[in-house]
Amino acid sequence: MEKLFETEAEEASSSSQDHKRWIEFDTLRTRLITKDDFAWKLPKTTSREKAEELEEVEMLRYVGGVDVSFSKEDPTVACGTLVVLDIQNLQVVYEDFAIVTIAVPYVPGFLAFREAPILLELLQRMKKKDASPFYPQLLMVDGNGILHPRGFGLACHLGVLADLPTIGIGKNLHHVDGLTYSRVRQLLEAKENSTRDFITLTGCSGHIWGAAMRSTQDSLKPMFISVGHRVSLYTAIIIVKMTCKYRVPEPIRQVEGIPAEASKGSVRMIQLHGSGWFTYFSLLQHIYFQKHKTAEGMRSENIREVHSCYKQARKVQ
Got the DSSP string for the chain? -HHHHHHHHHHHHHHHHHHHHHHHHHHHHTT---S---S-B--S-SSGGGHHHHHHS-B--EEEEEEEEE-SS-TTEEEEEEEEEETTTTEEEEEEEEEEE--SPP-TT-THHHHHHHHHHHHHHHHHSTTGGG--SEEEEEB-SSSSTTS--HHHHHHHHHT--EEEEESS---BTTB-HHHHHHHHHSGGGTT-SEEEEE-TTS-EEEEEE-SSTT----EEEEEEES--HHHHHHHHHHTBSSSSBHHHHHHHS--GGG-TTHHHHHHHH-SHHHHHHHHHHHHHHHHHS--TT-SGGGHHHHHHHHHHHHT--
What is the tens place of the pLDDT at every residue in 71-86?
Answer: 777 778 888 999 999 9
Mean local confidence (pLDDT), 299-312: 48
CA pair distance 80, 115, nearest whole angstrom: 8
In our burial notation (b when 16+ CB lie closer than 10 A, e otherwise), range 287-300 reads bbeeeeeeeeebeb
What is the tens place of the pLDDT at every residue in 226-266?
Answer: 999 999 999 999 999 999 988 889 999 998 874 333 333 33
Mean local confidence (pLDDT), 11-15: 49
Mean local confidence (pLDDT), 41-52: 64
Mean local confidence (pLDDT), 8-26: 59
- Do strands 138-142 and 166-170 pair parallel, antiparallel, or not at all (unpaired)? parallel
Domain formed by 33-257, architecture: 2-Layer Sandwich (3.30)
Query: pLDDT tier at 212 (50, 70, 90 boundaries)?
Result: very high
What is the pLDDT, as a whole number, of residue 100? 84
CA-derived radius of gyration, the chain: 21
Bridge partner list, 202: 208
CA pair distance 79, 60, nearest whole angstrom: 28
Residue 135's contacts (CB-CB under 8 Å, 6 or more residues apart) are 62, 84, 123, 126, 127
Query: pLDDT tier at 189 (50, 70, 90 boundaries)?
Result: confident
Bridge partner list, 100: 78
Give yes or no for residue 184 having a pLDDT over 60: yes
CA pair distance 86, 61, nearest whole angstrom: 6
Give yes or no for residue 168 having a pLDDT over 50: yes
- The residues spanned by each domain of the chain are 1-30, 33-257, 258-317
Bridge partner list, 140: 65, 167
Mean local confidence (pLDDT), 68-73: 82
What is the pLDDT, as a whole number, of residue 217? 64
Give yes or no for residue 275 having a pLDDT over 50: no
Burial environment of residue 121 by CB neighbours within 10 A (0 to 12, 13 to 18, 19 or more) = middle
Mean local confidence (pLDDT), 134-138: 97
Q: Of the given ranges (41-55, 153-167, 212-226, 283-297), which has the lowest mean pLDDT?
A: 283-297
